[in-house]
Structure formats: structure tokens, C-alpha cells
Structure 1
């Protein structure tokens, strides 16, 4: 070590002046090299760079920077130090060197020396791709040297690098320079160039299609769309016009865009994005190519990348008032790059899918026209006088068109081309649904072709579902029904339904008094889907699954309310459980499902009967009978039973006939038509005997006993009940046994035998609780036990029973059950001295059941009121 130190000292003495102040000194166990700052290149570099700030001219500043940079012979400490150590020790100096170099180029550009430095700049910018200032200097030097295309390429290269490596964009300043290069607005170009500058042409694009000459209607939507587009905003105002095929989205948008030409004097840009009418929707880059050219950008100046075009497009529109119409979009990804960044611009997007949320669009939803608008449009095309002469036929005509603007326009065009046709003639032609879509075609206007575009964009699963809906003539559907049609999970069915909603081939019809989402098929879409149904076997298989799903769900509902197959019978038709989470297991939820799906159940009874599936028909009709009864839906109840009975007789299904006649007996009983009810029960008993169905015979015996009790023959009722209970016990129908025990208790009360009544009713309650407390059976037993307690003047014990009955009845919307419970509570409150509350209970009970034809419950409530409040 000492030898090496001696060599260093000798070297220093040979190259430096003796009085330079450079010494190598011993310090403890080591050595220190002392030198004045002005003898160290790093210090001298920093000082010269700092002095640039005080330069009085660009020439002086350039001399200082070049002097500072001349001290460099390569990287700091290069050639012998480990790279990591060299980076740690020299990073600050290297950064300062680059900053000084950028400052030098800045000065040279101010002095107009762009030609002298352009190549050096290019080399340095390539070596340091993250230095945006260097790229900016290079772009400026290239543009001033007449190499604008290379300047734009340099910007594009930087942008791609930043996006790929860092996920960011160039600075605002650099983007502004990029726009300036495109426009030819190079800073100070005239002062430093001997040639005149090319100014960017201020093109005013007018690419909007012609307005629809006979546009009419849509006044509300027109006002809504205009309001969105003209309101003040810091960012572009975007309106998404959505609607089904043929709703007139494009016509409305073009009409409004033309009407707002004074609000947007810098022009209109229009692009058909071909979202669903081709296999390959237009890409944003393609559209921007057309837009930028329409704005006056020369092809040589067009950026090669999408990001470059987006930046240039938004920069060019930054200070312009311009409206952009993006027609027939497929998704947000397609339209997002086409949205200007300036609040001075407005955008209309049309689509059959519901989109726009990702770009902050406000939606204007077009549905089919109302009757008045439809007639107005027809009159504008076919002639006002013509429409007025045949007002009724005109209304019928637009109805066959489904109030769809495209269909009405086609019908009007056909009439305009055939002045000798009457409205009635075309209306009759359209009334035949087998040829309706053929008639709704004229020239380039075609309803079928318009729907076809939406259909082709669907996934295979959604296409199958639409065909099945058409093949089964299903106008309204829900998740469980779609799941059954497809034979899929509820989640997959909902996904297919939502896809059809997004494609505007289905409308959301609302919950319809339940939590079940419902979907509606437009009539013309239904006809289109029916045409696509080319596999009858698939439709038949789908119907079988729907029957099974409906039967399975009705079983769940019946069993939850009355107990497992209590007093009922089923065919051998297969069941198919569904996993729709919207159909919860609670009785109230299942009852909501039935209320919403009642029209579907009726339709399924009609389908199955027509197809000769009598077992399905009578099983559906009989299982749903108590549900119709609860809300006194006598027309629906009788209609389904009529269809089922006809089907069973046609197929000679003896047991099915018996089951249907049994439910007919219940219907007549509910309507207090006791003689007809008894006749139905007797016929049913004979048929059950022929079919060898002991359980069916026992059920009918129980109901005949009930008829005897209603007809005030309690002794005969007791005998019949006693016979029925043995058959029900043998069949294992525990719910039926509980029902008969309740009847025995009621008959015993009629005979004044309260002890026997107590025994029977207590056993009935015990069995109901044992089999899982089916709410309606238990509630009926509780009510009569409460009435027995009232006979014993134990109103304190009876009151909570009636309260429980009332809660159950309210859960199911059972008005008669509520009235009975309120009648019992009224008596309890009266005996407790709460006369006003008692009167309120009874008044509410009477209000619940009062009808033009008095029912048994109404008569009993009225009788109680007269007994307790004889003076009113």
C-alpha cells in the first residue's frame, strides 16, 4: 500500500503545479486527497450549469452549457467501478448532464439552429426514451426542418413506450405540441424559416345524412335529447339513444342533429359503426381515420396508432363546437375513443343494446309509438285524408304493425305506392301472421331483416331461447320459465334473457306484483322467432320441461300451505325441480310466484290439453285449484277445470275425471251452490271407485260430510267424517285426517257437544303441528278451537289464537281468512269491554268480504255484528 501511495504522489507532482493545492495526506490509518473545487471536474460542471441561469443572452448561455458539457469524456467513473456502485455514486451527475443537454437544445432551438442539432437530438432521444422534453425538442426540430411526419412518428413511439411500460400518456404539453405539429402551427416557425408556414385548414365537416323529410312524433324524446345535448358541461355531453329494431333511433338522432346545427356551427361528424349489421363492426381507428380526414388532416399526418389518433382528434376538437353522431354502436369499447374531451362538443350514440354508462351517457329510450304518434306517422307517409277516411282501419293497421315505426313506415310506403289500395285491404293482409313479416318489407326497408341483424349478434344460447319462445308462442316469460325451456340453470337462463334484453329483442315487463322479473316479447319479434323454429322436437322437449317445472313448483306451494299432498291427488306426469333463487321456499314467496305466473299456468293447461297430455292438464288444474279458490278467481278456476275435464274425457282418463270433478265440487261449495257441489262429489266418488282409488273415495267422503254440515245435518256429517277418517288413515294422508278431525269438531259444536269438539280439534291441531304446521290447515283448526273457547267464555285464551290466524291469512292475502279471524277478535274484544275496538274489527271484516252475492263468511260476520250491536 505504501508503495502505491508513493506512486500516486509522484504522478500528482508530475501533472500539477506545486502551488495548485493538491495533496495526498496521511490521516490516521488511511489517506485523504485534498483538492480545491475548481480543480475537480464534477464541481466545475455543476458551477458552469448553475451559471447559465445568470446569462444575459442565449449566446452566453449556450457557451456556458457547452463548456460544462465539454468536461465529460463518458459515463461517471466508467471502466473500473462496479456498475451498481457507479450508478449509486454517479446518478445525480448523469441526471444533471441530461438536463444540461436538454437546456442546450432548448437554447439552440430558440436561436433557430434546428438543422444543426436535429440528428444529435434523434440519437439522444432514442437513447433516453423516457425523457419527454428530449422528444419534444426532437419533434420541434424535425417539424422546423420540414420533417413533420418523422416528428409525429417520434411522438407515437414515445406514447407507445409510455403506455406499454408505465401505463401512462405523454404530458399535456407534449400532446399540445403534437396537435400543433399536425396543424402546422409550429412555434416561432415564421421567424426562423425562409419559407412560408403551412397553416392547418379549418375544415368544417358535414358528414351527417339528410334529415328524414316525413319525421313525426317522438316529441317527448326529441325534447329530452335536445336538452341533454345543449346543456352546459365541462366535458362532452353524451346521449345514448337505445331501442329495439325499427324503433326509429337513427331517424330521431339525425333529425335532432340537424335541428341543432346552429348550436354546433363547427360541423357534424357521422359514422355508422355497423355494430350488428356486419360480422366485423368498424374499429375506432378506422372511424378516426375518416373523422380526422374530414377535419382536414392530411393522410401523411395521420398517426399510425389508435392512441395517436385519439389524442389528435381530441386536440383538434378542443376549441370547436361540433356534434358527433355514432350510429349503430355495439359496446362502450367501440365508442370510448370517439368521444371528444371538450365540453364544447356533443355526442349522440345509437344502439340496440343498452350502453353508455362507461362514458357517462344519459339514455333516451325509444319504445314503440303510442297510438296517436303511430297514426300521425302513417298519415305523413300515406296521406292525411286517406287515414282520416278510414280511421278504424288505420288504427287496426298500426296495431298489426305493433306500433313499430319501421313497420308503420313500410306499410305507409306500400300504400303510397298503391293509391288504389284501401287501409282495410292492407290491414286484412297483415292480419295473417303467417305472412305478416313478408308484407312488412318494401324496398330497402324490411322488418324481418332488421330483426335478423339483432338475432345474428346473439350467443347460441340466447338464439335458442328466442326460437323456443317463438315456437311455444310465449309472449311473456320469466327466469323459471326460460330455465325450463332451455333445460339450464336459472343463472344461465337469466344471462340469456338479459342478452335478449340488451339486444332489444325482449322488453322488461316489470315484477308484476311479485319479485319475479318478467320479460315481454314484441309481437313482430315473436313471429320472427317462430319462423326460426325449425325443430319441432326441441319445442316438444322444452314444453315437457316446462310442465314438469310448473308441477314441481305448484307442489311446493300446495304442500307448504296445506301439508304434504293433503286431500289431493296427482297424475304420473314427471316433475322437474327448478333452482330459481327468486322463488324462495316461504309460502308467501311461492304465493307471489303463483299470482304472477297464473296466466302461464292457465296457458300450460291449455297447451297440454291440446296436445293430448290429459295427465298434465288435470294435474295442473287440480293442484292449482285451492290457489284459485283462495282469491276467489272463479273464472280462471272454472276455465282450467273445464279444459282438464274435456281432456280427461277425450282420453278416457277415469281417475283424472274423478280428480277434476272433485275440484269442481270444491268450486261450487265455495260459491255456496251446495246441490251442484254434492252432485260433483257423488260423480267423483263413483269414478274413484271405478279407478280403484281408495284415497280418492275417502277424500270425497270427507267433502260430502262437509256438505251435510253446511246443510245443517250434523249427525249425517259425523257419520260421513267417521267413514272418511279410516280411509285417509289407511292412505297415510295425515293432513286429510287433521282436516276431518277439524270437521268432526265443527259438527260436534253444531250438536252442542263441546267435550267431543275439544277432543277432535285438539287432535287436529296436534297432527297439523306434527306434520310441520302447514299454515292454512293449522290456521283453520286454530280458528275453530278459538270459537270453541269463546263458547266456554274463555275469550282471553281465544284472542291469541285469532291473532295468529289473522297474521297467517294476511301473509297469503286470504280475505275470507282475515275476516273470520277479525270476527273472532271482535267477539273477544267485545267481551273484554273494548266495544269500539270490537266494532272496528267487525267493520273491517265485513269490508273484506262484502260482495254483491253474500258468502257464508259475510253472512256470519253480519250476523255477529247484529248480535253484538243490535242498534248499529
Structure 2
């Protein structure tokens, strides 16, 4: 898992030099804090929760780099590894607790039920960590409310949190507060960019520059990158230039001015096209960008955007995403500066147009990502061939890697597009394309947690725009996901709301689908009367519209409910109607399945001769359909029935002649077998397709 909000600072220096600079006193204090006895231990009790260490400091102080270095040094004591997650987006918005919990569960390889609430997910996180010795790194916490629910209920784990201030409410936490780096480490950090010569010839100038940067790692990295791009620039001149800068714009706290001045120094040295790309990166979803994102935002070529991004990394304005090639992240310390600059320089219309270009590019990439999974020669592959080369993926595997690496940015783009409210048409297209791409590459079941959130976004747009058809579709999809995870009551409420929306849209498909789903929810809840009533309503609509395939399926569902309720006569009539419907459609496999269910009902009703005849007919239909698996299952059904009739030898030989009348009768009160929930189980191995 990758961090979602990480600062520049020591991390950037470490990437350049391969070593961590300074902070040795803080590291010693933190390591001593791990071994220090807590309040519970002093009172003679075993600590019920993980040890929590807090690194407090402003963005840009190197707090994340210090947390990473601490985790590296003590990793040997925690064999289950390091889990990293950010609690705040680069723009300053809190990341919802359910999203944080899902990220942690993904890292722990623990499945999370789609649509689960915050409490359920955080409880799953604590349960998954209960038997582990791991380090949990919580980056950029806003307050204790974000951290508390994620604390493991075991003292074997270590939690390292970073924040701007104290986390009041977390017991037994002593913050390690960061200021600037010491002078020696600051100068060493500058040397990694400028080389030792320029510092050695004028060491006092280097110390003056450190002072002008407030000894803040993020500011030193920016100035170091600027000096590295200008080998002839003198260190003392840069120090004077920083001191001479005026603090225009809103009044900043004194501690934030050095970073703002260093950023201004670098920004003013950029060419106009590069400066525009940098400003518009404030619009990158979740602070994550690649060449396509930058190209779409600025309206330039992909190669030009890629060159600009590489320059920004050299300056310290961006950092590479170690987990995903050719992907970059806006440092959390610089995100507010970029956003303020974009608001001050770019007109609102230009910003909205840049957003629209980015969303349109993302939609086309998602369409390409899905199309590459289609067979050769399909319409989707033909459309894919007409796209520009930069928007095409060479293979399905490459598209899958892109989708996995960009997933967090894609989901963030969908959320931001819906929240924006001014680009609802593009937002709907983006969500639809993302749903199809995830389903094509992961399958609907594996992608269910992401799909649940996307369908909720569609519902938000539909409700805001009074789009009744889209609202009905979103509610039906959400209801299906609720039903799959056992939240049948919630699913029933969704289906009823979808029925109202379908009627408001005058959409017969949505209305019929909703009525059938309401019946299915009542069936799952064991309310046979309401289930049969709603199935009957859905069937009436299908009959009126002449939708034969749906008619046959609904006859089967209605017959199943009658079987549950013990109304075997009505159940048999339903299955016969389903058989007749499938016969008219020429669907031999479904006809065989319907016949097998009719035979089962006849067996329950105590009519074994008819059951055997019907089962033989089902076997014959399966043979004609060429469905060997269905044929084998039906033959097993025959053998099982003959065994209960007292003729196991005939069952082993194969389909026998009909037994004498009255040879077997169902015991009084016999009905469908029950599953482990106590609900009647119909069609165990030969169930009808829903």
C-alpha cells in the first residue's frame, strides 16, 4: 500500500543520497519511548492496546521521513511488516474512516464486505491485527478521532502517527515535536544537490541559506533543486534573493514563510508552459498525476507533459510514486501553495475546462482499458484501433497494471467530479466507464467494494438532477450488492425506492426488475406470501409486454416460492408453465432444469411415478442439449430417487422402467430440505438460472 499524503523533506533527500540525514536525537527518543513502560504497565496491568508514538510537526518538517526511518530501524522486532496509510488528502480534506480501513484490509489481504459501515470495517482491521506483530504508520492525522478506531487491540503492534499537533484523547501518548534540522544536517542536505565545492568555498553563505530556509527540509529540497539546475549560481546570492522576497497574498504564519518563499523562487524560474502545468496539478485527483493527467489539464502533448513532470521531480516539486512507474505525487506541504496559486492566476472558466479535459481523457483511457479485454474483431476492439496510440494499451495485462496502479486516483476523480456538480454528464460517463473497466478486469464479485461506492456516486448525481431512470438503476445495483452480503432488509428498502423511481421514469424494465427484486428479498426473508404476490405482479407486467424469456423465468421463481410454502399443486403449475415457455423459446438446458424442479416437487407431493417420468424427460432434454454436466446431475437425481424407492440396484444400472403404483409415498409432512439457515433449499445442484 502506498501513502496517500506524504511530505517532502528527508524523504526526498533519502531518495537522492540513499541515507537519512539528521534527527538522531528524535530517533533515540522515539526508540526509548517504545521500551518505556506505559501507564497500564506501571499499574500492573497488561496493555490492552498497541503502543502509540506521535511525531508532530508542520507539513514539510520531514515528519513522514522520520516515521519511515523509525519503522526501518525497528522493523526487525515486527516480523509482520509495515502498513502505511494516509489520513488526509494533499488538499487538506480528511479521508473517510471507511476508505482508510479498506486500504488497511487490502494490505492485510482481508476481504471487506461491500457497503459495510465504518464501525464494521474498523472492527475488521482490529481483528486482523490481533494476532500479528506489525507496525502501523498513520500519516497526517487530523485528530484523535481518526486514529482511535484503528488502534490494534494488542500490545504486540506498534502505531506510529504523524500530525501537526497533539492527539488529545489517545491515552499515554507523548509527542515528539519537530522543528528545523540542525545546521550540520541542513548543510549536508544542500550538498546532496549542489555538490560540496560550492558549500566549501563559502560555508558561512550555506549557513545563511539554511537560516533563510528556516532549516525546514522541504524548503531546503526546493532551494537545493533550484541550485542544482544552475551550477553557476552562488549560494550567497540565493540567500539574499530569498530574504528580499516579499510575502504577497494572505498573511502566513512565520513558520510557513520559508517554504512559501522557496516555492516562489522555484516557480518564478519555470517557463510559462511548465508553470501552467504545475499550477493545474492542484486539480490532480488525490494529488496523484501522470503524463496523461498533466497533458489533459494543460492541453499539451503527452511527451511535453512527461518532460515537465521529470523537471518538477528534479526541483523537488513532485516525488515519484515508488509503487507505480511513471506516476507522481504532489507533496502534502506544497498542495495548499499550488491550490492558492491556481485560484489566483487561472480564471474559473479555464480551471473548469481543464477539469473537463482531464475527465474526458480519463474516460477514453478507461474505455480503452476495457476494450482491450474484448475478443479480436469485436466492435470494441475495432473502436480501440481508431484511438490515438497514446490512448491504447498493448495488452490486457498492461491495461490491468494501469488500472491497479491508478485505482485510487480514478476513484478520487469520480468522487471529485460528482462533488463538483458542474460536470455531471462527464461524471456519469466516468463512473460508468470505471464500473465497466473494473468488472472486465476483476469480475463483479471481486470489484464489489469499489462498485458499491461508484453506484452511490451515480445515485448522488441522479438525485441532484432528478434523473429517475439513473436513480432506479443505481438503487437496483446497490440493492443487489446489499443482498449479496446478507443485508436483505437494506436491499428491500433499496428495491422499493427503485420501484418508485422506475415508475416516475415510466421505465418498464426498471419497474419489472424492481418488483422481481422485491419478491426475491421477501423470499430471502421467508415471507412466502409477499414474495409470491410481488413475483405475480412482475409476471403480469412481463405477460402484458410479451417478454417470453422473463415470463418463463418468473414462472419458475413463483413456483419455487409455492414449493417453499408447501403449495405443491400451484408449484407444479408454475413449473409446467416455465417448461412450456422454455420450449417455445427453444432453450433446452433451461427446459431440462425446469423439468427437474417439477420432478422434485412431485417427489415432495408423494407422487413418485410422475417424478420419475418427469426426471427421465429432463435427462432426455439435457442429452438433446448436449449439456453433459446437467445430464450427469439429473442421472444422479434419478439414482437418488430410486434408492429411496428401495431399488438401489436399478439406480446403479441407469434409468429404469416406472415402478409399480404405490411403491413409495412421501412421509407425512415431508417438504423441501432445509439449508443451514433453516430456509427451504430448492434445486440444490440443478437450480434454475436467475
TM-score (norm 1): 0.35
TM-score (norm 2): 0.42
| Structure of greater Rg | 1
